[in-house]
C-alpha cells in the first residue's frame, strides 16, 4: 500500500509531540510537512517545540509557523496543562531543523499544489490555519483527501464544562471546517479519554531504555501530574495521536457519521460541539465522529513509533 501523504497542523504540546512522532515513524504514512498554530502555547513557543521534537527524532520535513491568534483575534495558553514552555518535563535538543520562510497556510497550499495525489490534513490544535487555508485557497480544496481533527466532544468539554480546548480556542475556524463539505473525522474527548497513559504503558516505555523513550517519559510524567491536578485523572489522555493512528488503521476507532455543528453564540456553551447522535435535527451528516478506541492497537502503534525513533544509549 502506498503511504498516505499528510500534513500535520499542531500546537505542541505533549500529546502533539507524540502525534508528530507517530506521523513521522509509521511506514503507512508519508508526513510531508508540519504547520504550527497557537494553542497550548504562543506561536513562537509551539513552533520551537515542533522543531525540537523533529530534531529529537531526526525528522526532516518543512515546518512552517502559522496563526498566532484565533480568527477573532483571541489568544490564550494552556500553561496549567502543558507548562510555561508548552512542553515542560524534559530537556529537548536545540532545533537543527530549519523553519520555512512561508506562512503555514501558504506552505499547506504549496504542498498540496505540488503533490500529484490528494493530501490528508490532520489538525491537532485549534483549527485556525485549516480554516484560513480553506478560505484563502478554495481551488485547492479538491486536493484535500480528508481532514481529521482532534477536538470537540459529544458530551462535555475540558476547557469549559461544554467546550473542548481546541474548539474553544477558535470556534469560528471550527465552524468553517465543519461546513467545508470535505470528508471529516472528529476525534473528540469521547475517544481520546480512552487513550490513557496507564502505569502499564509507563512500564513499557521504561523497558525501552532509549534516549528518546526517556525524554518521552519525562514529558508524560509532567503531563500526568498536571492532568491529575486539574482533572483528577492520574492516567492522562494522549489525545492527539489518536487522530494520526486512525489513518494507519481505521479499526483503531469506531465512528458514527452524524451532523456536528459548533456553538458560536451560547453565553455558557460557546465552543461546544453539538453532536447529533440521534439525528434530532434531521440535518446533513457532515462528520464521522470517533467514539470508541481499540486501546491495545492504539498503543501498539504508538509504542512502535517511539521504538522506531529511538537512538539507543
Burial degree of 281 (CB within 10 A; 0-12, 13-18, 19+): exposed
| Closest residue by Cα to residue 21 from 313, 263, 306 | 306
Q: How far is the C-alpha of 10 from the C-alpha of 66, rounded, in Å?
A: 10
Q: Which is nearer to ligand BDR, 230 or 283 (CB)?
A: 230
Cα 241–243–28 angle (5° rounding)? 85
164 binds ligand BDR (CB under 6 A): yes
Min dist CB 114 to ligand BDR, Å, is: 28
Min dist CB 199 to ligand BDR, Å, is: 22
Going across the sheet that includes 144-150, the strands are 63-65, 29-36, 4-10, 119-123, 144-150, 184-187, 287-293, 253-262, 273-276
| From 8-16, 139-147, 175-183, 301-309, span contacting ligand BDR (CB under 6 A) | 8-16
Site track 74-113 with Ca ion (rule: CB under 5 A), x = hit: ----------------------------------------
Q: Are 223 and 236 in contact (CB under 8 A)?
A: yes
124 binds ligand BDR (CB under 6 A): yes
DSSP 250: G
Is residue 239 among the annotated active site residues? yes
| From 110-118, 158-166, 262-270, 278-286, span contacting ligand BDR (CB under 6 A) | 158-166
Sole binder of ligand BDR in the list 70, 166, 194, 213 (CB under 6 A) = 166
| Closest residue by Cα to residue 165 from 231, 253, 245, 92 | 231
| From 25-33, 41-49, 160-168, 249-257, span contacting ligand BDR (CB under 6 A) | 160-168
Cα 298–304–305 angle (5° rounding)? 95
Min dist CB 15 to ligand BDR, Å, is: 5
DSSP 254: E
Q: How far is the C-alpha of 18 from the C-alpha of 220, rounded, in Å?
A: 10
13 binds ligand BDR (CB under 6 A): yes
Q: How far is the C-alpha of 264 from the C-alpha of 168, rounded, in Å?
A: 9
Residues 43-102 that bind ligand BDR (CB under 6 A): 78, 81
- Is the peptide bond preceding residue 13 cis, with omega within 30 degrees of 0? yes
Residues 187-246 that bind ligand BDR (CB under 6 A): 239-240
Min dist CB 198 to ligand BDR, Å, is: 18
Written as nine digits, the cell of 75 is: 489568544
Annotated active-site residue in 14, 82, 193, 239 = 239
Written as nine digits, the cell of 224 is: 500526568
Min dist CB 136 to ligand BDR, Å, is: 24
Which residues are the active-site residues?
239
Binding site for ligand BDR (CB under 6 A): 13, 15-16, 40, 78, 81, 124, 150, 158, 164-166, 239-240
Residues engaged in binding Ca ion (CB under 5 A): 11, 13, 16, 124-125, 240
Amino acid at each position: 500500500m502506498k503511504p498516505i501523504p499528510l500534513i500535520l497542523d499542531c500546537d505542541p504540546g505533549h500529546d502533539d509531540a507524540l502525534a508528530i512522532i507517530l506521523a513521522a515513524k509509521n511506514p503507512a504514512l508519508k508526513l510531508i510537512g508540519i504547520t504550527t498554530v497557537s494553542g497550548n502555547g504562543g506561536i513562537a513557543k509551539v513552533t520551537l517545540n515542533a522543531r525540537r521534537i523533529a530534531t529529537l527524532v531526526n525528522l526532516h520535513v518543512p515546518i512552517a509557523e502559522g496563526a498566532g491568534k484565533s480568527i477573532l483575534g483571541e489568544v490564550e495558553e494552556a500553561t496549567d496543562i502543558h507548562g510555561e514552555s508548552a512542553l515542560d518535563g524534559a530537556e529537548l535538543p536545540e532545533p537543527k531543523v530549519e523553519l520555512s520562510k512561508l506562512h503555514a497556510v501558504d506552505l499547506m497550499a504549496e504542498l498540496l499544489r505540488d503533490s500529484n495525489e490528494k493530501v490528508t490534513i490532520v489538525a491537532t490544535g485549534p483549527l485556525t490555519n485549516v480554516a484560513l487555508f480553506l478560505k484563502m485557497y478554495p481551488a485547492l480544496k479538491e486536493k484535500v483527501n480528508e481532514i481529521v481533527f482532534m477536538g470537540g466532544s459529544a458530551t462535555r468539554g475540558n476547557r469549559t464544562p461544554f467546550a473542548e480546548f481546541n474548539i474553544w480556542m477558535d470556534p469560528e475556524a471550527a465552524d468553517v471546517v465543519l461546513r467545508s463539505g470535505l470528508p471529516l473525522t472528529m476525534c473528540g474527548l469521547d475517544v481520546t479519554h480512552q487513550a490513557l497513559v496507564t502505569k502499564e504503558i509507563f512500564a513499557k516505555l521504561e523497558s525501552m531504555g532509549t534516549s528518546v523513550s526517556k525524554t518521552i517519559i519525562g514529558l508524560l510524567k509532567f503531563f500526568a501530574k498536571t492532568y491529575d491536578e486539574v482533572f483528577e485523572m492520574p492516567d492522562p489522555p494522549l489525545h492527539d495521536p489518536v487522530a494520526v493512528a486512525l489513518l494507519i488503521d481505521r479499526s483503531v476507532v469506531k465512528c458514527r457519521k452524524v451532523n456536528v455543528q459548533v456553538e458560536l453564540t451560547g453565553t455558557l456553551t460557546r465552543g461546544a460541539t453539538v453532536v447529533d447522535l440521534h439525528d434530532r435535527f434531521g440535518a446533513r451528516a457532515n462528520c464521522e465522529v470517533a467514539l470508541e478506541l481499540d486501546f491495545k492497537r492504539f498503543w501498539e502503534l504508538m509504542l512502535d513509533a517511539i521504538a522506531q525513533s529511538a537512538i539507543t544509549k
